[in-house]
Amino acid sequence: MTMCLKVVHRRGYAARNASVAFGASLAVLAAAVHAEAKAKYTTFGVSGAALTEPACINDAGTIGGKYTDSSGVTHGFVRAADGTITEFDPTGSIDTVAGGEAQCLNTTGALVGSYEDSSDVWHGYVRADDGTITTFDPRGSTGTYPGGINTSGQITGYYTVSGGEEHGFLRTAAGKIKSFAPSGSTGTQPGAINDGGQIVGFYGDDTGVLHGFVRAADGTITTFDPTGSQDTVANDINSGGAIIGRFLTDSGYEGFIRAADGTFTTFNPTGSTYTTANCINKSGSTSGRWEDSSGVFHGYVRSAKGTITEFDPRGSSSTDAPSMNDKGVITGLYQDLGKGAVYGYLRTP
């Protein structure tokens, strides 16, 4: 997004401020270059996997995700901070996936996601750090898709009912499930929940337009859209209540940050034709991906001060950055066309 400053016709003003703006641009660029020069990458893959797709990382450095085997079947995996990878599937699963981006793994190592049974029905699961898997479905569900879990074990996501409509849900640590939807919703998809119990996601109205929402711990739902949005997708919320995502304009998708007071900041990496913010940590740093004019995706991290650092692991032909922990460590996936595979990576600042 290009930000325009009002021009004031005052002797010497334009020249001085052009110089200041240029200097500020150089300072931001220098900060981004320095940040990327310091970053270290660790690539990994599940043994025998054709695709390894990390989805989330916690502060201990544990990563949750899915991988696809040579037969095209997906399975879940957890990668410990020491690099040990444990593969898993709920009993009866013919396909297993991790939950939504950013928040599918909590600080205790509990991971949420979905699995498909032999009847082609998807169910929710939560896998504890000790490997115990508990499966669940809201009453009346024809498909269950958990997205996020917080430290206390509260889980959010959505489920479908007969006819295909999507409803949001909140599952307590004790297993009690409550469904919800913003007023006027024809389909609701929560994706993340913070430790205060605030839930964020998006919903569709009867015209097919998407809007963001945040649900407070007391059940109050506030809907929102950045100015000029034609579609809003909210992806994550941090402990301070800041929300991130993407919104559609005439120029394409741009990233946004919505502060706890409702103020919006929008952004785009230079040259981006599509930007999405996937994750926000407690310091206000965000990670996500952007697409260049050649249709190639790259990762980025945006600091709380607004500095955007673009990145790609070595050999990448396409990069995504779905999750970042409070230490600024990012996990994601990249495609290496030379080796014909998709790998996971860790980016340590």
Mean pLDDT of 48-55: 96
In the beta sheet, which residues pair with residue 75? 67
Asked if residue 223 and residue 257 are part of one domain, the reply reads yes
User: Does residue 8 or residue 101 have the better pLDDT?
Assistant: 101
Task: Flag whether pLDDT at 165 surpasses 80.
Answer: yes
pLDDT digits (tens, 9 = 90+) for 269-281: 999 999 999 999 9
Confirm whether 4 is domain-assigned: no
What is the pLDDT at residue 20? Answer: 32
Asked if residue 57 and residue 27 are part of one domain, the reply reads no
Task: Flag whether pLDDT at 1 surpasses 60.
Answer: no
Task: Flag whether pLDDT at 124 surpasses 70.
Answer: yes
User: Does residue 200 or residue 21 have the better pLDDT?
Assistant: 200
Count of residues for the chain? 349
Asked if residue 124 and residue 156 are part of one domain, the reply reads yes
Q: What confidence category does residue 14 fall into, taking pLDDT thresholds of 50, 70 and 90? A: very low
Largest Cα span, the chain: 76
Residue 133 in contact with residue 169, Cβ under 8 Å?
Answer: no
d(CA 40, CA 56): 18
What CATH code is carried by the domain that includes residue 283? 2.130.10.10
State which residues form the domain around 59: 41-348
The model's pTM: 0.89
Q: What confidence category does residue 102 fall into, taking pLDDT thresholds of 50, 70 and 90? A: confident
Asked if residue 225 and residue 329 are part of one domain, the reply reads yes
Domain count, the chain: 2
Task: Flag whether pLDDT at 33 surpasses 80.
Answer: no
Asked if residue 217 and residue 127 are part of one domain, the reply reads yes
Mean pLDDT of 32-43: 79
Confirm whether 28 is domain-assigned: yes
Asked if residue 24 and residue 158 are part of one domain, the reply reads no
The two structure tokens encoding residue 91: 């009993």
